[in-house]
Amino acid sequence: MKTIGLLGGMSWESTSVYYRFINEAIREKRGGLHSAKCLLYSVDFAEIAACQKAGDWEQAARILGEAAKSLEQLGADCLVVCTNTMHKIADSIQQRISIPLIHIADTTSAAIQAQGLRKVGLLGTSYTMEQDFYKGRLREHGLEVLIPGEEDRELVNRVIFGELCLGEIREESKRAYLRIIDDMAAQGAEGIILGCTEITLLIGEKDTAIPLFDTTYLHAMQAVAYALGEA
């Protein structure tokens, strides 16, 4: 079994879900007392969020790049950046290490295509929904991407940073997200990407009939596949 390097803390709420998903999958596949070989480097999210707000992506790349190098030096065989938004600097991080970075958007695109879908809605932070680093990567895989209107994007972003990253789960926010999902479905979205690793804390498959693509789960499963030589 190969060792998974987890670059987390963005936020630790969702990083803990990665850890659970990965170990549950290893136990299911290997049985008995098996668990994942993994290394976790958890950053101070306040520092990263400050870089995001200031638009200082170079400093964010330096912080995460050094963390990634530490994971490689400690024996990680691959890198999983446990956040969608910071894949904005995925190429910069990859340049600093020699182990493969498992890209969350590529993993998600493969899952969508496996279901034969082409047009999807995207929920995430404002950076993820509005900038091209994520949508562009999806489009490279032949997908058409819808995002909510401006007011709804602000709501989605506010819930992520003001509630989910702090471990707060509110029923009114869940209802708002489901209404936004329904709106995108009405616009032709065949599925919805939960494009922030915290959204899995709020919304699940049982909540809506439209197919959901939980990037946290999909990313974790791709890491498991790599670790077991199945990827």
DSSP code at position 148: -
Angle between helices 215-227 and 12-30 (to 10 degrees): 50
Select which of 196, 197, 215, 216 is catalytic.
Answer: 196
Q: Pick the catalytic residue from 83, 85, 197, 215.
A: 83
d(CA 96, CA 196): 24
Residue 16's identity, in one-letter code, is S
- Is 83 an annotated catalytic residue? yes
Are the beta carbons of 1 and 231 closer than 8 angstroms?
A: no
In whole angstroms, what is the distance from residue 144 CA to residue 100 CA? 27
State yes or no: is 125 an active-site residue.
no
Tokens representing 186 are: 């009405």
Enzyme catalytic residues? 83, 196
